[in-house]
Amino acid sequence: MNDHVHVMSLRVLFGVFGALLVLTVLTVAVTWVDLGSFNLLIALAVAVVKAALVALYFMHLRYDKPFNALALVGTLLFVALFIGFALLDTSASSPGLIPGHQPAMDAKAAERSG
């Protein structure tokens, strides 16, 4: 009666586990190389790939009904909107939101004072 159950094969589970370990080592190793702003991009890209592996295989999303994937992707989309607009807003209208030394503001101040 449970023919519908999709059982993950051990090969896939251990394969994903291995990939996650390799990516973890990679993301730590890349911090020893100075790539400027690419360091953050690489770190985030590796995290997204790891998260996708966990979601698709450990969380079985690849074999589920698409509604569950929609819930996850939709949520991430809204979080991205939230963070994206918050960043646009703070950089455009209130860079002084948090007091303290701010390189960007200091540069502007130096420009204005000549």
Residues lying near other proteins in the complex (CB under 8 A): 1-2, 4-5, 7-8, 10, 13-14, 16-17, 20-21, 24, 27-28, 31, 34-35, 39-40, 43-44, 46-47, 50-51, 54-55, 57-60, 64-65, 67-68, 71-72, 74-76, 78-79, 82-83, 86-87, 90-91, 95-110, 112
Smallest gap from residue 110 Cβ to other proteins (A):
5
In whole angstroms, the minimum distance from the beta carbon of 113 to other proteins comes to 8
Q: How far is the CB of 92 from other proteins (least distance, A)?
A: 12
Please check whether residue 61 is in contact with residue 55, taking contact to mean a CB–CB distance below 8 angstroms: yes
- Give one word for 60, left, alpha or beta, with left for phi > 0 and alpha for psi -120 to 50: left
From the CB of 72, what's the least distance to other proteins, in Å?
A: 7
